[in-house]
Amino acid sequence: MTTPVASPVPVPARRPRRYRGVVALVVGVSVLVGLGAFAGGTLLTRGCTEADRALMPQIMADPMFAVAPPGADAGDVLPGPCDEDEDAAWAGQRISDGSADVLAFYADRAAQLGWVRGTGESDADVELCLSRPFEGTTAVLVVERLADELDVSIAADAEDASGC
The model's pTM is: 0.68
For residue 19, is pLDDT > 50? Answer: no
In a domain, 33, yes or no: no
For residue 106, is pLDDT > 80? Answer: yes
Indicate left, alpha or beta for 51 from its phi (over 0: left) and psi (-120 to 50: alpha).
alpha
Secondary-structure percent of the chain, ordered helix, strand, coil, rounded to 5: 35, 25, 40
In a domain, 151, yes or no: yes
Share of the chain above pLDDT 90, in %: 35
Count of domains forming the chain: 1
The confidence score (pLDDT) of residue 9 equals: 57
- The secondary element (H helix, E strand) that includes residue 93 is strand 89-95
In a domain, 25, yes or no: no
Which of 88, 98, 101, 25 shows the shortest CA–CA distance to 56?
88
In a domain, 121, yes or no: yes
In a domain, 145, yes or no: yes
pLDDT in tens, 127-136: 889 999 998 8
Measured distance CA(71)–CA(120) in Å, rounded: 32
